[in-house]
Amino acid sequence: MFSRGGLKRQMSVDGDDGKAVEGPDSPTSVGWTRAKKMCLFGDPGKLFALEAGGVLGPIEVEYETYGELSPEKDNAVVVCHALTGDAHAAGWDEDPSGPLREYRKKKPGWWDTIIGPGKAVDTGKFFVVCANVPGSCYGSSGPSSVNPATGEHYGTTFPVVTVGDWAKIQLAVLDRLGINDVWGVIGGSMGGQIALELALSTPGRVKNLMILSAGHRLTIQGLAFNAVGRNAIMSDPAFRDGHYYDGERPLRGLSVARMLAQITYLSEESMDHKFGRRLRGKSVPDFTLTGIEFEMESYLNHQASSFVRRFDPNSYLYLTRAMDYYDAAVRHGEGDLTRAMEKIDSRVLVVSFSSDWLFPPELCKEMVLALCKARKPVSYVNIPSRYGHDAFLVETAVVERLVGSFFAVPDARARG
C-alpha cells in the first residue's frame, strides 16, 4: 500500500502545454500500459440486440485495466471516458503501432492524475477498468471498422448506438472479467451519462456512483451545438454519405465541428483570461477575411488540426447522436426524473462546475433534487471554476480530493 505523503513523484515535461507530468517510472504511475481486446457477441445465435433496432456482432472492445482484482472480486472501479476519450485512462502507452501513438507519446492517459498507486483511484486498492465504447474509432467496433459480412468499412451502415447500449457493453466486459458487483463507477461528460445509466439499469450492482460535469440529459443548447457539428461534417463534399475510407476524408467538416465543440468546453472567463482580444503575433490587424488575426482563432485552429489527425468523422456523428438521445427521466421514469432516480441503489456524488454551460450546475441540481426526493444517499458539490466544461479534466487538485474522499469511504458506511 502506498502512502500519499511518503511518495516523491518523478516528473517529465508535457510537450503540448509545458506542464510537468509524471513519467512512467514514477512510483505513483501505473507505468507502461498496453490496450487489450475483447470480442463479444461473436456467436451468430447470440448477437447484441441494439436499442435502436437490429443486431450487431461480433463486437470488439478495446479496454485497459490497472491494479489487481481482489480474490473476492469486490474492488473493481469502472471509469467511463468522455466523447473523444479512449480506454487509455492512465499510464504511458507502450504500443508503438497504436492509432494514437503520435498523440500519446508525449503524455500519459487522459486521467493519469487521478488513477495510480496512492492516487485518488488508488490502484494499490482498486482494480480499474476503462473500456472504449462501440461507435468510437479508438479500438472498439465502429464505423471505421471492417464489416466481417462485407469485407468493407461499415461507414454509416454501422448501426445507431445509444448510451443504453454502451452500458450493456460495459456490463458484458465486466461479466467476461468475472466481476459482478463493482465498488464504484465514475465518469465525466458523456462518461457521466454512461455511469448514470449503469447504476440505473443494474440496481444493486454499483455501490458508489460519481458523476462529474454531466446530467440526466443534454440541454437544448447542447443538442443544438451537436446538430451544427454533425451538419458541418455531412456538408463536407468529401463526406460521401459516410463512405469515404478509400479516399479523402471530410476533414474540413470535422475541423469546424471540433472548433464549435471546443467553444462549448470553455467559458467566457477562461477564453478572456487565456486569449482576450489579443492579436496573433502583431500589434495591428491585417484586415483580412481569410487569415488568422486573433489568438483565439489560432487556438481553435490548432485544436482542430490536432483533432482531425486522430478522430474519425463518422464516429463524431455516432457519439454525439447517442448523447442527444439520452434522457434518464424518459428511459427510466416515463418522463418523471424522481421516479427514474428511485431505481438508483448506489451512494451518489454529483460534481458540477460553476462556468460549465454544456452541463450547467442548474441541470446537475435538477438531478440531485430528484435523487433527494427519491430518498437516495446523494452529495452534491458545485466547484467555482473559470475553466468551463473542461474543468473536470483541468481542476485536478480539487477533483482528486473529491474522488479520493468519496472512494475511501469504508465498505460498511457505503452499504449503510
Do 146 and 95 meet the contact criterion of CB atoms below 8 Å apart? Answer: no
pLDDT of 234 reads 98
pTM of the model: 0.92
| pLDDT for 16 beyond 80 | no
Based on the residue annotation, tell me whether 153 is a catalytic residue of this protein: no
The closest of 190, 194, 214 to 352, measured between CA atoms, is 214
Q: How confident is the model at residue 105 (pLDDT cuts 50, 70, 90)?
A: low
- Cα(340)–Cα(331) distance, integer angstroms: 8
Query: Mean pLDDT in the chain?
Result: 91
The conformational region for residue 59 under phi > 0 = left, psi -120 to 50 = alpha, else beta, is beta
pLDDT of residue 350: 98
Using pLDDT thresholds of 50, 70 and 90, give the confidence band for residue 408. confident
What is the pLDDT at residue 265? 95
| Domains in the chain: ranges and CATH | 4-219+327-415 (3.40.50.1820), 220-325 (1.10.1740.110)
| Percentage of the residues of the chain whose pLDDT score is greater than 90 | 83
pLDDT given for residue 117 in this prediction: 96
Question: What percentage of the chain has pLDDT greater than the value 70?
Answer: 91
Q: Active-site residue among 136, 140, 144, 189?
A: 189
How does strand 152-153 pair with strand 146-147? antiparallel
**Lowest model confidence (mean pLDDT) among 5-9, 107-111, 251-255:** 5-9
Average pLDDT over residues 168-197: 97
For this structure, is 283 an active site residue? no
**What's the CA gap between 338 and 350, in Å, rounded?**
16
Apex 198 CA angle, 195 and 204, nearest 5: 120
What pLDDT does 410 receive?
53
Residue 121: the pLDDT is 96
Q: Spot the catalytic one: 346, 356, 385, 390.
A: 356
Residue 240 has pLDDT above 90, yes or no: yes
Which whole number is the average pLDDT over 35-46?
A: 92
Whether 356 is a known active-site residue: answer yes
pLDDT, one tens digit per residue, over 121-167 is 999 999 999 999 999 999 999 999 999 999 999 999 999 999 999 99
Q: Given this model, what pLDDT does residue 107 score?
A: 84
pLDDT category at 74 given cuts 50, 70, 90 is: very high
Please state the rounded mean pLDDT for residues 346-352: 98
Q: Measure the CA dihedral 279/283/286/290, to 10°.
A: -10
Q: What's at 201, amino acid-wise?
A: S
